[in-house]
Amino acid sequence: MVITKFIFRRSISSTLLWGIIFGVAILSSAVGFISAFPTAQDKAQLAAGFGSNAGLKAVLGNPHALATVAGFTEWRALGLITIIGALWGMMLVTKVLRGDEEEGRWELLLSGPTSKRRAALETFAALLLCLLIVFLLITGASQVANAVHDISFSWKQSIYFGFAGISSAALFMAVGAFTSQIASSRRQALGIAAGIFGLCFAARAIADSTTGYDWLRDISPLGWIEKIQPLTGQYPVSFIYLAVAIIVFALGTILIASRRDLGTGILPERDSRAAHTKLLNSPWGLALRLTETNIITWIIASAIATAAFSGVAKSAAQSFANAQPIQQVLSSITNNSNSAALFLGLMFMLLMIVIMVMTAGMVIAIREEEGSGRLDTLLVRPVSRATWLLGRILIVFLTLLGTSLVIGIVGWLVTHAQGIDLGKKTMLLAGLNTAPPSIFLLGAGILTMAILPRLTPIVTYGIIAMSFLIQFLAAALSAPTWVLDLSVLRHVALAPGANPDWHSNGILALVGIIAAAIGLWYFTKRDIVAE
């Protein structure tokens, strides 16, 4: 079980992070519903406003019994978990399979007393352990809601919710594992898996937001998950379809993995290509070449997410106007009654978390370059540690700054096209407002990498998880102010729903820059630390 332990240890950080985030999404949905909609009239307004909103239905799915805590929690939390879980699953499995194979780790693993077939089985065992942790966190979160507000989710409902919550992650882990065998590179494998997810999501979104296309929901795995209705209906037949799909992809993965040679794939890729030496004349240029694909992917993903959120801003604003309790709560926080701006403020906060996850991944990649020994090949040349690390820090900084600008620009273009005139300057500043938490995280991550390098993933992802937990749950539970202030997100305004607080933003950015500078100095004084 050496391979199982190896992959599980490499995956536990992201597993706990997303498991906690999924649990918080459930708790915040259930507790927030009770707090924001105390009367039958409030619940009826919610159901009328959100239940008929085609834009929100396209993103989160078709709601059921929306005027109940079970229906609202199922729609909001499961809708988000299904999308994020699928993305996490495919990114994780392509990394541990095709990504590690490209870096030569699988050659070392298979040099021991094992076979390719057994290695594939042990990989799936590690992924099952990750899914089990997420399942326990999702199931436990719904039961914690019972203890907090006596919501009365039964154990049967919670277990159904747990299985429904991990379904998309499990399915797209299997899809990603299969594409990792037929593709010749991780980029190709992830691209194919993402394409399959995009088709499944599009089919489900069309079925939920339009009439006459219900059959698309029946052929989309994401539609199968929606039809489970773990808290309001419990239709377990969909689990059978999902299980069959997962087994088919898993068996295909094991079959191909046991027969193909390492470093090869079924789909062709050019064996040779023209040399491209651009940017390879310096350590900074090399760092940019090594990370350019990741950078472009994150920027495009952020732009697509911004376009999706901004695209439903007009219809969401109408729903907010009909749901007076939500409108009143958000208006009291932001001193703004513009429903579209309030909605975009909430969505931009979600994009803050996306940029923080991107930043954490890039910081961890810097640490992995040291831990895997690749840094040694640079340091034996006339390259200083300070030059190498400073270049990587600047690349991450410019990437997160550029991503925030893209968010502002895309947000303005899409909202302006809908006739929502929030102003170009307002949207650009709102985009820049998403950057300070990630600058703080960058500094904290570099400082951790310098002092306690092996704890870099735990600390970076831990800051994100803690901030998310406090921001979306502690406020609903009336936590003390000092607890709320522990969240990095707490100190950032909900722009464009509110004016950016540049004083707080400046402090976050300054602390991050100082921490990164200290980390850079300390890194030049210590020994290189392997994994």
* Pairwise pLDDT comparison (117 vs 55), residue with the higher score: 117
- pLDDT band at 373; cut points 50, 70, 90: confident
Residues 317, 244, single domain; the answer is no
Residues 254, 171, single domain; the answer is yes
b/e burial code for range 426-459 (CB count within 10 A of at least 16 → b)? bbbbbbbbbbbbbbbbbbbbbbbbbeebeebbeb
Kindly tell me the sign of the dihedral angle through the C-alpha atoms of 402, 404, 407, 409. negative
Q: How many CB atoms lie within 10 A of CB 512?
A: 25
Per-chain mean pLDDT for the chain: 84
Residues 340, 421, single domain; the answer is yes
Residues 394, 429, single domain; the answer is yes
Which alpha helices (H) appear in 37-68, and where do they start and end? 40-51, 54-60
* Consecutive H or E run containing 347: helix 339-371
Residue 385 forms part of a structural domain: yes
Residue 273 forms part of a structural domain: no
- pLDDT band at 341; cut points 50, 70, 90: confident
Q: How high is the pLDDT of residue 497?
A: 81
pLDDT at 317 over 80: no
pLDDT at 148 over 80: no
Last residue of a domain, one of 205, 237, 267: 267
What value does the mean pLDDT take over residues 121-140? 94
Residues 263, 299, single domain; the answer is no
Residues 292, 253, single domain; the answer is no
Contact status, residue 404 vs residue 349, Cβ threshold 8 Å:
no
* Pairwise pLDDT comparison (484 vs 408), residue with the higher score: 408
Q: How high is the pLDDT of residue 359?
A: 92
Q: How high is the pLDDT of residue 519?
A: 95
Q: How high is the pLDDT of residue 321?
A: 58
Last residue of a domain, one of 244, 267, 290: 267
Q: What is the pLDDT of residues 44-81, one digit of tens each?
A: 777 776 766 676 777 788 888 888 888 888 988 898 89
pLDDT at 326 over 60: no
Residues 182, 299, single domain; the answer is no
Residues 233, 372, single domain; the answer is no
Q: What is the pLDDT of residues 403-450, one digit of tens each?
A: 999 999 999 998 888 888 888 899 999 999 999 999 999 999 999 999
Q: How high is the pLDDT of residue 397?
A: 95
What value does the mean pLDDT take over residues 181-203? 87
Residues 114, 210, single domain; the answer is yes
Residue 462 forms part of a structural domain: yes
Domain enclosing residue 452, as ranges: 280-531
Residue 286 forms part of a structural domain: yes
Q: How high is the pLDDT of residue 169?
A: 95
| Amino acid, res. 160 | Y
What value does the mean pLDDT take over residues 501-508? 93
Q: How high is the pLDDT of residue 446?
A: 95
Last residue of a domain, one of 199, 234, 267: 267
Residues 213, 289, single domain; the answer is no
Q: How high is the pLDDT of residue 476?
A: 55
What value does the mean pLDDT take over residues 293-297? 81
pLDDT at 383 over 70: yes
Q: What is the pTM of this model?
A: 0.76
Query: What CA–CA distances, in Å, run from 505 to 36, 42, 182?
Result: 29, 35, 46
Residue 35 forms part of a structural domain: yes
Q: How high is the pLDDT of residue 280?
A: 67
Residue 274 forms part of a structural domain: no
Residue 408 forms part of a structural domain: yes
Q: Could you give the percent of the chain with pLDDT greater than 70?
A: 89
Residues 303, 258, single domain; the answer is no
Q: How high is the pLDDT of residue 470?
A: 77
What value does the mean pLDDT take over residues 470-481? 64
- pLDDT band at 284; cut points 50, 70, 90: confident
Q: How high is the pLDDT of residue 316?
A: 67
Residues 248, 310, single domain; the answer is no
Q: How high is the pLDDT of residue 431?
A: 93
Q: How high is the pLDDT of residue 136?
A: 95
249 Cβ contact list (under 8 Å, min separation 6): 171, 174, 175, 177, 178
Number of domains in the chain: 2
Which alpha helices (H) appear in 111-264, and where do they start and end? 116-149, 155-182, 186-209, 214-219, 221-228, 237-259
Residue 76 forms part of a structural domain: yes
